[in-house]
Amino acid sequence: MGDFCKGRTVIVTGAGGGLGRAYAMALGAEGANVVVNDINAKTAQATFEAITEAGGKALVNLGDITDYDSAFDIVKSAIDEFGNLHAVVNNAGNNRDRMFTSLSEEDWDLVIKVHLKGHFCISSHAAKYWRQQSKEGKKVNARIINTSSGAGLQGSVGQTNYSAAKGGILTLTLNQSAELARYGITANAVAPQGRTGMTEDVFADMMKVPEDGGFDKYDPANVAPLICYLVSEKSSHVNGHCFESFGGMLSIAEGWKTGPVKDKGARYDVSEIGDVISDLEGVTTSAQKVYGT
């Protein structure tokens, strides 16, 4: 057992498997009180037992993160059980992959609901709790950790709904980081790569465990140290970033920002726009290619 997150209470959504389970296990091993949230009772219980059998403290919660009232109960359960709440790791997700012209309204709504609304609901209640603590003069050192992906950063063919949700989460993170810092709350995002229930079937060959016993770069546990650091008190100066984490690689993503400008000082005529765009394309850094192209 470590003590990097000792005494910190953290909610991890989607903690029954994959990345969420790896985060919950690592947080428990670092002394955190872990609320294991998942809609799958069996897998949530398995994560809970693994944490407690290793000497950690945990609580199972099966609440629906996409329901605002249920999300309140999830936050309340953490506070009731452990006396406080210090961090939320919004990890739960789903996918309904289709090419854009085959995407149904249901495919869109389900993915946006779980990812984007799910991130909002728990974070909203947690932030209100921390704001109230701050107004009462209590010291707040709180964290919101959101989950985006490479698809959110640059798009992914066949995943329009997922990419849009993950892109929205990045902007949500930026707004949270700007608005909530005054209350002692930081907000960061991670774009992890690892073996999960959503990826291991589709990319089974690529993500299989090395037979030679070499470094398993797709092990979701590789991302967990970053999550533990961000949850800890030591990360209070880190705010508004999206971290890409894969295997032994870690980087801070560089998002949308204003590029080179051509300013006429007057309104352009429509006949001028084509040449201006051509000039700008020649001096503007190209975006990364969309996954799958």
Question: What are the residue boundaries of the structural domains of the chain, listed by start?
Answer: 9-252
Residue-level pLDDT, tens digit, the chain, 293 residues: 789 999 999 999 999 999 999 999 999 999 999 999 999 999 999 999 999 999 999 999 999 999 999 999 999 999 999 999 999 999 999 999 999 999 999 999 999 999 999 999 999 999 999 999 999 999 999 999 999 999 999 999 999 999 999 999 999 999 999 999 999 999 999 999 998 765 555 555 556 666 677 889 999 999 999 999 999 999 999 999 999 999 999 999 998 889 999 999 999 999 999 999 999 999 999 888 998 99
Judge residue 24's burial from the number of C-beta atoms within 10 Å of its C-beta, 0-12 exposed, 13-18 middle, 19 or more buried. Answer: buried
Catalytic residues: 149, 162, 166
pLDDT at 195: 83
pLDDT at 105: 98
pLDDT at 255: 85
pLDDT at 287: 86
Predicted structure pTM score: 0.92
Structure tokens at 155: 């798009």
Return d(Cα 290, Cα 293) in angstroms, integer.
6
Topology of the domain covering 9-252: Rossmann fold (3.40.50)
3 state DSSP class of 41:
helix
pLDDT at 35: 98
pLDDT at 204: 54
Return d(Cα 178, Cα 242) in angstroms, integer.
14
Amino acid identity, position 35: V
Structure tokens at 203: 């990319």
pLDDT at 210: 64
Structure tokens at 87: 């961090």
Return d(Cα 119, Cα 65) in angstroms, integer.
8
pLDDT at 196: 73
